[in-house]
Amino acid sequence: MSLTKCLLFALLAIVASASVSAERVRYDHYRMYKVNSENAKQLEVLKDLEGSSDSIMFLDGVHLVGADIQIVVAPHKVPDFLEILGKSEIKYELQSRDVQKSLDEIDEKVAIKGRATTAYNWAQYYELDDTYAWLQDLARSGPGVVTLIEGGKTYQGRSILGVKITKGGETINGKAKPGIFLEAGIHAREWIAPAAATYIINQLLTSEVESIKELAENYTWYVLPHANPDGYVYTHTTDRMWRKTRTPYGRCFGADPNRNWGFHWNEVGASSSACSDTYAGPSAFSEIETLSLSKFIEGLKGKVQLYLSLHAYSQYLLYPYGHTADLPDNVADYEKVFNASIAAVNKRYGTKYTGGNIYDAIYPAAGASVDWAYGTQDVRMAFCYELRPSSTSYFTGFKLPAQQIVPASEELLDSIVAMATEVKSLGYFD
């Protein structure tokens, strides 16, 4: 979803020129501030400020009084920005005097693989074409087990490719296997999410660990590592911190594909400004990515009992709802599954997850895929993982070092094993 807590870079008018010239977006001498509203009046000032200028980029949604908001400001706009905060007595802290320098300092820790010259692995991050070629190879080499699927299309004409895994066939004792649907990468810059999704695919196909073999053999899996391919490609070619789709909207680009689903669309926790990182789009399912993917999922109605969405970062496990503080009618079961899942994620490396219902655990956020799956597709168990790192890491949040791909994915898979076990014990796979 990304329900994000820090460092969410908008790419306003500067993106329009960058998209034509193919030059990489830079943030030299941009400053990052942390602000916090103390009352509703101050919150309204920040809401008015969001999307008001191409040079003031909000990294968090402006939703709640008292919530920290990260804001990146272009050098020439700093005096105006500080004057507005001063007049409204809004408290702020300077987090970085040079955002580009802060980002460059951690780049060397993030290994990126261009064209694949060695076997696909999890020691580096891959570009989209490499992952797609790997998925296609899996389908060719594993007929009857791995089927290439197209979950939808993108604005720029790319396919949303994934795989269907039916190890040991699609039935058990003459009955269709329960389905687990996993999508990742709906927010383009959250690279660890697609990497973890491909790791899970590989483990389902190759692991000799009994619990993982059971997970592979007892369920039909639908895994889409890149739900926002255009955005992901853009993070490699132009702006590493891009979040949204690439649909043009006037002088700005893209909608937040995890605020665009047709379930309580744009009621809360999203923006109506096309320049905002949380822009909900002009209408529900305005983005071809979410519209076509939703049609694909609708075609699986009744076949999927567990829906998983991978995001980063903050180390949260979340469940419906995002549009309201009201809880699902089966919240008692959600709490049991949640407790088992976060206990399992902690065992291998001591990583601590927290979470709960989206609205209360992070912030209000309507129009997410998890809510749509639960609210319209009769998927009674739907969860969002916000993967490593924790929310305390502002500049490394979306640039998780590649050496953490495997441990982050291992503990995630531990959690999913425990989750599936608990969901089964509660009867949702019957």
Nearest residue to 256 via CA among 322, 168, 180: 322
Q: In the chain, what are the domains?
A: 13-107 (3.30.70.340), 112-425 (3.40.630.10)
The whole-angstrom separation of Cα 9 and Cα 322 is 22
Residue 359 has pLDDT above 80, yes or no: yes
- C-alpha distances out from residue 299 to 159, 181, 182, 258, 366, Å: 17, 12, 15, 20, 23
pLDDT given for residue 16 in this prediction = 34
Residue 224 has pLDDT above 60, yes or no: yes
The whole-angstrom separation of Cα 402 and Cα 420 is 27
Taking only the tens place, the pLDDT of each residue in 378-412 is 999 999 999 999 876 556 788 899 999 999 999 99
Residue 386 among the catalytic residues? yes
* pTM attached to this predicted model: 0.89
The whole-angstrom separation of Cα 270 and Cα 267 is 8
Instruction: Give the confidence band of 106 by pLDDT, cuts at 50, 70, 90.
Output: confident
Instruction: Give the confidence band of 55 by pLDDT, cuts at 50, 70, 90.
Output: confident
Residue 9 has pLDDT above 90, yes or no: no
pLDDT given for residue 17 in this prediction = 33
Catalytic residue among 50, 183, 190, 386: 386
Comparing 19-33, 34-48, 88-102, 225-239, which segment has the lowest mean pLDDT? 19-33
Residue 231 has pLDDT above 70, yes or no: yes
pLDDT given for residue 5 in this prediction = 35
Q: Give me the percent of the chain exceeding a pLDDT of 70.
A: 91
Q: Count the Cβ atoms, other than its own, within 10 Å of residue 392.
A: 11
Residue 21 has pLDDT above 70, yes or no: no
Residue 79 has pLDDT above 70, yes or no: yes
HSE on the CB side for 253, CA within 13 Å?
A: 24
